[in-house]
A and B are shown apart, each in its own frame.
With several copies, the nearest count.
Chain A
Amino acid sequence: MADLLVFAGGLELKNPMLAASGCFGYGLEADPVIPPSLFGGIVTKTITPAPRRGNPVPRLAETHAGMLNSIGLENVGLDAFLADKLPALEDVDSKIVVSVSAGSAGEFAEMAERLAEHARVDALELNLSCPNVAEHGRNFAADPAAVAAIGKAVRRVFARPMWIKLSPNVTDISEVARAAQDAGADAVTAINTLLGMDINIDSGKSPFARVTAGLSGPAILPVALAAVWRIAREGGIPTIGVGGASSAKGLLKFLAAGAEAVQLGTVLFSDPGAPQRILDDLATHLDAQGHTNLNSLREQWKEQA
């Protein structure tokens, strides 16, 4: 059977399938329905310096082939994460990528320093799709200079792989990816959720307290593929693809677009059997095409250029 090993964003992953941040909790909640060791890597729920309660309900809505979420970065905070969540992952046979978010470059760096002390942290993913308090809530990920500043601050204190997660809600995502590259990131993760909303036609209002919310799921796959392709064709920085993948076919599309690995988000809710099925289908696909590993498939794609 074909080997699914990949090198992605500075990590050796036993397979190119990761759990996306916020879509697999702290890694253990779904066990044994979704065994964490299935994944090449697990990206944790985004951790902030202090615990956050997040937004009031409703936090979810369903859309055509997608969903909206307004969780509001609910998380236990860094201390509790280090004390309770991280140690519990000790025996998980997947790389652990800790997603972090904070209000300033300095705070990001402080978190990174503390996380660097823990060997179980294989990599960091900086979630910048969050507001810059200093800049009147403007999203960090929409501002190449902010991305570069945060990336550099973390880079100074964190030597293991650093991924920067990008928002699709920008005019030119490759510009932001270049800023991440300049900051020394090992990869960019693309994409976070699209800005979206729903309306209740009785009240005429959004169901969400924050009005807008984040769109994810199969509906956004074409947008995510375009984002990955636009970043990858510049050849500057590796990408980790995320957004709407729900099958081996979707995962392969990301790899063909240029991603080194692919994260699964919404599909972990809509179909918890997907991770196992995707691994099986990936191996079957490679075997059927006579490839013993993913690189061989990549080479074939290149030759057809």
Chain B
Amino acid sequence: MSGELSAAYRSGRVRALKRDGLYYHLSMEAPGLAPSEPGAFFMIGLGEIESPAPDPLLMRPMSVLNHDGDFVDILFKVVGRGTELLAAAEPGDSLRLLGPLGRPFSRAAQPQPILVGGGAGVPPLCFLSRRLSAEGIAHRVLFGFNSADDVPDSALSKLSQEPEIFTLDGRRGQKGHTVAALAGDREAGRIQACGPGPMLEALKKVRQPGEAMELSLEERMACGMGFCRGCVRPVATGDDWRYATVCREGPVFDADDLVDVNEAGEVCLQEEGSCG
């Protein structure tokens, strides 16, 4: 656990849902929430707060794109049933929000932040960039997408600075990966990244000596508050390692804390597992 939980569980109302490139931008009104820091997320559940068996059963973690008073915005991609149903929300519909949750990105002027986002990893970095700008902190923003059609222009237009855009199809911004743009000698900064696993792995390879690096990770979640132990990643503890929860000790981790564990965990005594 890292610190007290500042989250609340509240009913939210859908204010607007609109397409933005490949994504959906969902604006919700939900009073009574603590303010969010960039990197924080909400667990979002469909339906009224009174539903006895919500469908889908589990809430879905979604990074905060923006949180301003009673208004929470997220930007999401449809990848399965939950996001499909969320994309069918209509203004006035009720949703359930649990949050803000998780350890956010750090915010400091030195070393200079370099925000690297890929695909659905972009939203929390949009929030971070806006906040850094508001605080007068100079920073770089590199966002990568598969295709020019994916780019969530409306969300990006709210940033105080133009992000450097990379697309694999080359029809927007620079052709190729964000990571490639960071290869070679550079001044060490503070990489703050969120995106697909392979992107994060590639980033580690272009890291400058001594460069600070924060990575926001994703895992399947049930509780979002650190007590189901469903969403773990191995982190170093001296010579050894332990599982940390992505929902509570993350989603933002210091890259130096994360370890690769080949054996992938202790072998449960049972070959087949149904023990909790």
Contact = CB atoms under 8 A, between A and B. Distances in A.
Q: Do chains A and B touch in the complex (CB under 8 A)?
A: yes
Interface of A: 21-26, 29-33, 45-46, 52-62, 64-67, 69-74, 101, 103, 127, 129-131, 133, 137, 139, 167, 169, 192-196, 208-215, 217-218, 230, 246-247, 249-250, 266, 268-273, 277
Contacts, number: 194
Nearest to A217: B57
Contact of B229 (A54, A67, A209, A277): A54
A57 B232 contact: yes
24 contacts: A22-B229, A24-B227, A30-B5, A30-B223, A30-B227, A33-B7, A45-B229, A52-B266, A55-B265, A56-B264, A57-B220, A58-B219, A58-B220, A59-B230, A61-B220, A72-B273, A74-B232, A192-B276, A214-B273, A218-B57, A246-B53, A266-B57, A270-B45, A273-B96
Interface in B39-91: 45, 49-59
Given A32-B5, A249-B52, A71 B228 contact: yes
B8 interface: yes
A266 B228 CA distance: 9
B1 interface: yes
A212 B272 contact: yes
Given A61-B220, A269-B223, A271-B96, A213 B57 contact: no
Nearest to A216: B276
Q: Which of B7, B50, B228, B270 has the most C-beta atoms of chain A within 10 angstroms of its own C-beta?
A: B228
Contact of B276 (A56, A73, A196, A247): A73
A65 B232 contact: no
A269 B227 CA distance: 9
B268 A55 contact: yes
B156 to A, nearest CB: 32
A59 B96 contact: no
A247 B50 CA distance: 9
Contact of B274 (A56, A195, A209): A195
A128 to B, nearest CB: 10
Interface in B196-241: 219-233
B268 A29 contact: no
Interface string B1-19: 1000101110000000000
A70 B5 CA distance: 25
Interface residues of B, number: 50
Nearest to A210: B273
B52 A247 contact: yes
Contacts of B268: 54-55, 70, 72-73, 210
Nearest to A270: B57
Contacts of B134: none
A133 B271 CA distance: 11
Q: Considering the complex of A and B, which 5 residue pairs feature the smallest CB-CB distances, nearest first?
A: A25-B227, A210-B273, A56-B264, A22-B276, A56-B265
Given A31-B5, A53-B243, A65 B57 contact: yes
Interface string B232-266: 11000000001100001000000000000100111
A210 B270 contact: yes
A266 B59 CA distance: 12
Q: Classify the interface of chain A: helix, strand, loop or mixed.
A: loop
B63 to A, nearest CB: 19
B225 A30 contact: yes
Contacts of A61: 220
A195 B276 contact: no
Nearest to A211: B272
Contacts of A56: 261, 264-265
Nearest to B59: A270
Contacts of A52: 266
A106 to B, nearest CB: 16
B232 A59 contact: yes
B275 A130 contact: yes
Contact of A54 (B51, B57, B219, B243): B243
A60 B219 CA distance: 9
Contacts of A196: 274
A271 B45 contact: yes
A284 to B, nearest CB: 13
Nearest to B57: A270
A251 B32 CA distance: 29
Given A57-B220, A62-B57, A131-B269, A33 B248 contact: no
Given A139-B270, A193-B274, A266-B222, 9 more contacts: A52-B266, A54-B266, A57-B232, A59-B231, A72-B275, A129-B274, A230-B272, A246-B53, A273-B49
B98 interface: yes
B273 A55 contact: yes
A54 B266 CA distance: 6
Contact of A29 (B56, B59, B227): B227
A236 B231 CA distance: 37
Interface centre among A246, A266, A269 (most CB of B within 10 A): A269
Interface in B108-154: none
B265 A208 contact: no
From A131, A215, A249, residue with most partner B Cβ within 10 Å: A131
A287 to B, nearest CB: 18
Which residue among A31, A59, A127, A130 has the maximum number of chain B CB atoms within 10 Å of its CB? A59
Most A CB atoms within 10 A — which of B5, B52, B273? B273
Contact of B275 (A62, A66, A73, A133): A73
